[in-house]
Amino acid sequence: MKKKVLSALLATAMITTMLAGCGSEPAASESQTSSEAPVSESSSSEPSSEAADTESAEAADEGKILNIYCWNEEFKTRLTDHYPGYTEVDGTTGTIGDVTVKWNITPSDDNAYQNNLDATLLGQADAAADDKIDIFLIEADYALKYVDTEYTMPIADLGITDADLANQYQYTKDIVTDSNGVLKGLSWQGCPGVMVYSRDVATEVFGTDDPAVIQEKVADWDTFKATAAELAAAGYHMTSSVNDTYRVYSNNVSTKWVVDGKIVIDDNLMKWVQDSKEMVDAGETTTYELWSDDWSKGFYPEGKVFSYFGPAWFVDFSMAADAEGSIANLGKWAATEGPQGFFWGGTWICAATGTDNATLVKDIMLQLTTNEEIMTGIVEADNDFVNNKPAMEAMAADPDYQSAVLGGQNPLPMYCAGAEKIDLSNLSAYDQGCNEEFQSAMKNYFDGNATLDEALDLFYTAVEEKYPELTH
């Protein structure tokens, strides 16, 4: 039955049984199962001596190969730098005690990572113990595709309890909670977003780079557009692309992409279309693809771009901070809240059903997602925003914490406030496919290659080909 379910997943990029619910429902399994395992007094992941003896005995009987599947080096770096006892052997191998850690890293380009993961999970039940996936990583956009299958272990089955997770941001648990209310993954990071803008451009055009003043000029979308006109008159694009604002609009919809089998385009998405078309026609932004060379030119002063939108990982890892002459390298960006709150991305750790290293998988999850000392170390070393409220609130209040990219500003108070407000009630299993096809179709309209009705027809056709069970 498992192979049949995932085969359907491979064919349609989702599982139809997910239509009954979404990841925004409370993690009911946490409270339902908390009495079945010892409850720690804090989130420190320090077991009692009796529990430690039991776990040591269990670990001795477990596998000696830990297979981890992911799409880049991020999780590998976190484990290498912060997990106690991890030793790197080479680029694809490490050790934890007498366990060999094998990294299977497949880039996400052309869906290669998911295709590789899907094919391997299909053979999980029949694989030799040393070949079974033990841990795999997933992203928010396609989390429900995996958590709503039997290929992901419930966190409670590892012995992780409500008390262990008490300091995590709720939305990070909601996103990996299946349609039956069972929690299926954990993350070490949170990804609330901010608007990042050029201090030099702000000073030139508006006379100040003060975040409070700039926030007044982008307080809502109509004000944002008026400010874009000011910037265009001075020779600057408000954003590098219409795609920079898409997630801000799409995170603030009032309905799911699919309701009762019908595709629904939310009013806030149509506002993005209207606003973006007006800004493109006025020369205030472009239609560059995210991550393209043209889009990235705005990371440098000569790119003439005022702002981007993103979370901590974007600010510190994706804006060319190591490149001489970039705005980030010069410490010339600043951050403010922007027109609406949003989140972007995140990485979740899942335990694969069938793992023969459950004890080690549990400890990795606890250390990297609940140990406040380790998580504080991640913030200090990597400038990541971590999934631990006490750690982040302490760093937000720390006058010595500064972001070099943001010219010494401490953006953590904004991130903390944003993380508490994230609402996933309209998350759906179709989000990745619908969002990608909608942006692709609307580019034809923005570029003048199709009318709005023609672009909408392109969108509906593409989605219905991808998901034959849907209509509009």
CA distance 133 to 129: 9
What's the distance, CA 244 to chain centroid? 15
Tell me how far apart the terminal alpha carbons of the chain are, to the nearest angstrom. Answer: 31
Alpha carbon distance 304, 235 (integer Å)? 7
What per-residue confidence (pLDDT) applies to 29?
32
Question: Please, what's the b/e burial string for 51-68 (b: 16 or more CB within 10 A of its CB; e: otherwise)?
Answer: eeeebeeebeebbebbbb
- Enter the tokens of residue 355: 């793992």
Coil, strand or helix: which one is 403?
Answer: strand
* Per-residue pLDDT, 45: 42
Residue 109 per-residue DSSP state? G
The answer to whether 145 touches 23, Cβ cutoff 8 Å, is no
Model pTM score = 0.83
CB 229 within 8 A of CB 281: no
pLDDT on residue 58? 55
CATH class in words for 2-190+345-396 = alpha beta
Tens digit of pLDDT per residue, the chain (472 long)? 444 445 444 444 433 333 333 333 323 333 333 222 222 333 344 444 454 454 554 556 799 999 999 999 999 999 999 999 999 999 999 999 999 999 999 999 999 999 999 999 999 999 999 999 999 999 988 998 999 999 999 999 999 999 999 999 999 999 999 989 999 999 999 999 999 999 999 999 999 999 999 999 999 999 999 999 999 999 999 999 999 999 999 999 999 999 999 999 999 999 999 999 999 999 999 999 999 999 999 999 999 999 999 999 999 999 999 999 999 999 999 999 999 999 998 999 999 999 999 999 999 999 999 999 999 999 999 889 999 999 999 999 999 999 999 999 999 999 999 999 898 888 888 999 999 999 999 999 999 999 999 999 999 999 999 999 999 9
Q: State the pLDDT at residue 423.
A: 87
Alpha-carbon gap, residue 441 to 263, rounded angstroms: 15
**Could you tell me the two tokens for 434?**
């619908």
3-state SS, 284-335, equals CCCCCCCCCHHHHHHHCHHHCEEEEEECHHHHHHCCCCCCCCCCCCCCCEEE
Count other C-beta atoms under 10 Å from residue 124's C-beta: 18
Buried b (16+ CB within 10 A) or exposed e, 201-231: bbeebbeebebeebbebbbebeebbebbeeb
CA distance 448 to 440: 13
Q: In this structure, which CATH number among 3.40.190.10, 3.40.50.720, 3.80.30.20, 2.40.50.140 belongs to the domain 194-342+405-466? A: 3.40.190.10
Nearest residue to 63 (alpha-carbon basis) of 101, 116, 94: 101
Parallel, antiparallel or unpaired: strands 237-239 and 347-351? unpaired
Q: Which two tokens stand for residue 120?
A: 């391997």
The answer to whether 218 and 336 have CB atoms below 8 angstroms apart is yes
pLDDT at site 301: 98
Enumerate the domain spans of the chain. Answer: 2-190+345-396, 194-342+405-466
Domains 2-190+345-396 and 194-342+405-466 share a fold: yes
For 350, phi and psi rounded to 5 degrees?
Answer: -115, 140
Both structure tokens of 267: 């009013």
Q: What are the tens digits of pLDDT across the range 363-419?
A: 999 999 999 999 999 999 988 999 999 999 999 999 999 999 999 999 999 999 999
Q: What pLDDT does 60 receive?
A: 61
Cα-based angle 191, 197, 202 (whole degrees, multiple of 5): 160
Q: b vs e for 328-364, b when ≥16 Cβ sit within 10 Å of the residue's Cβ?
A: bbbbbbbbbbbbbbbbbebbbbbbbbbbbbbbbbbbb
Cα dihedral 156, 378, 147, 434, rounded to 10, equals 160
Please identify which residue in the block is written with the tokens 């599982």.
Answer: 15
d(CA 23, CA 426) in angstroms, rounded, equals 9
Task: Compute, in degrees rounded to 10, the torsion defined by CA atoms 317, 321, 323, 327.
Answer: 130
DSSP of 75-106, one letter per residue? HHHHHHHHSTTEEEEETTEEEETTEEEEEEE-
pLDDT digit string, tens, across residues 130-146? 999 999 999 988 998 99
DSSP 3-state of 264: coil
Q: Which residues pair with 309 in a beta bridge?
A: 195
Structure tokens at 274: 């209207």
How many other C-beta atoms can be found within 10 angstroms of the C-beta atom of residue 162? 17
Quick one: residue 370, left, alpha or beta (phi over 0 = left, psi -120 to 50 = alpha)? alpha
**385-399 burial: b if 16+ Cβ within 10 Å, else e:** bbbbbebbeebbeee
